[in-house]
């Protein structure tokens, strides 16, 4: 489910997840899929994985050549594999 972030009603989100899974997509959540409140059956189909460079590379490799070319034209922005470490001095 790539693309720009989009706010939507939860029912619409759940329907999009179900369509993606039915279409054979691999969906990965970086936290417990149960927090998505998709119901037990759909939540079991969403993989829980820790953020990693390998996971990002796998997502990149799964994109078509056209998608990769389009993404290369987007200015880079930070993508944290874990929360930024910030502390008060």
Please state, in angstroms and rounded to a whole number, the distance separating the CA atoms of residues 6 and 28.
17
- Torsion angle defined by CA atoms of residues 27, 33, 35 and 40, in that order, rounded to the nearest 10 degrees: 110
Q: What is the pLDDT, as a whole number, of residue 64?
A: 93
| Residue 15, pLDDT above cutoff 60 | yes
Contact between 37 and 64 under an 8 Å Cβ cutoff? The reply is no
84 or 8, greater pLDDT: 8
Whole-structure pTM over 0.75, yes or no?
Answer: no
pLDDT tens-place string over residues 43-54: 999 999 988 889
Is the pLDDT higher at 26 or at 51? 26
For residue 38, give every residue at least 6 positions away whose Cβ sits within 8 Å of its Cβ, in sequence order, or none. 14, 17, 46
Distances, alpha carbon 11 to alpha carbons 14, 15, 29, 35, in Å: 5, 6, 18, 15
**Where do the structural domains in the chain lie, given as residue ranges?**
10-72
């Amino acid at each position: 489910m790539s693309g720009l972030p989009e706010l939507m009603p939860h029912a619409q989100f759940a329907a999009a997840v179900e369509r993606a899974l039915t279409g054979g997509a691999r969906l990965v959540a970086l936290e417990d899929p149960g927090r998505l409140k998709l119901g037990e059956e759909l939540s079991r189909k969403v993989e829980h994985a820790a953020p990693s460079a390998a996971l990002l590379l796998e997502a990149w490799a799964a994109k078509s050549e056209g998608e990769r070319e389009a993404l290369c034209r987007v200015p880079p922005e930070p993508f944290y594999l874990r929360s930024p470490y910030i502390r008060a001095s």
